[in-house]
Amino acid sequence: MKTYLKILSTGICVPEKILTNQDLEKMVDTSDEWIVTRTGVRERRISDKGVSTSDLGAAAARMALKNAGMTAEELDLIMVATASGDHLFPSTACIIQEKLGAKRATAFDISAACSGFLYCLTVAHSLLNIGAFRNALIIGAETLSKITDYKDRSTCVLFGDGAGAMLVTLGKGKKGIFASHLGSDGSLSCLLNLPAGGSRMPATVETVEQDLHYIKMNGNGLFKVAVRAMEEAAVKTLEKVKITSEDIDLLIPHQANIRIITSLRKRLDIEEEKVYVNIERYGNTSAASIPIAYHEARLQGRIDENSIVLMVAFGGGITWGGVLVKG
């Protein structure tokens, strides 16, 4: 019998503090009109000092557990997608495991930047399908404000903080749909990266003085790659189950840039009302982008148990991915 990834519940956590475009006008040479026109972002959430990625991730996880009527002790697997984890090691997943009290769960991170949540879903489906685990908690969590240079107007207008969680198990039945496509191209890693802090460029006085511990991005180069990569992810995911974009009830793209989302929608020939967009309120929250959007779409009644939902993303690496789920 065909198996698919059954979504039991979702949860999110976004900081209360809001950084508006008007706030940024006082910090860098920019304007609300410039930001909205080029990115679609009007505001983003910023975590307080002392609040870490695991704090947001654990809060989103608690909401998902509550919504499913489950306890942390019932979890077999915790996977966290993040580009701004608490530490290089241990994994943010292990820290969240401790915060939840999920003593039975295997926990680890996946590093695929903004595509990370879809990588996690794909890996979770494989692990559950072979019987290794039963219930999995998938989290996308970021505190990108901690690694954003607020003197660099090309990046500081984009990024925000947040977390989204999804509880999944293995479902069986003829109507279940699950398909995915993942990809990467390491030759393009220079387009979006965090230069210092790892083994290639350990922290020194010079790396701090040169602001190398902040996100660096080649926006023009990334735009062309992003649209092409997400289109490939969408098309190849749909091909695996022999359906077309006309069969999709909702497209949830990574919320990176409204122009990228619009270009992707046009390439896939999907009506605007079938695309979920919340970038104006949160900005780019990297790995947390898709689970936050999915949670909101569910609450708004745009997703039910029969909805065919396509999620697509691209991120640093360069990585990209598509995941198709039903309900």
The structure tokens listed for 156 are 């500081």
Three-class secondary structure assignment of 106-152: EEEEECCHHHHHHHHHHHHHHHHHCCCCCCEEEEEEEEHHHHCCCCC
Residue 206, both tokens: 């010079």
**35 phi/psi in degrees, rounded to 5:** -65, -50
Annotated catalytic residue: which of 125, 257, 284, 295? 284
In 3D space, the residue among 306, 300, 253, 298 whose CA is nearest the CA of residue 279 turns out to be 253
Kindly give the residue spans of alpha helices, DSSP state H, lying in the chain: 21-25, 32-39, 53-68, 92-100, 116-129, 153-156, 205-209, 219-240, 258-268, 279-282, 289-299
CB 177 within 8 A of CB 326: yes
Does the active-site annotation cover 114? Answer: yes
Exactly one of 13, 21, 94, 114 is catalytic; which is it? Answer: 114
* Catalytic-residue membership of 213: no
Catalytic residue among 135, 254, 257, 295: 254
The HSE-up count of residue 307 (CA atoms within 13 Å, CB side) is: 18
Where in the sequence numbering do the catalytic residues fall?
114, 254, 284
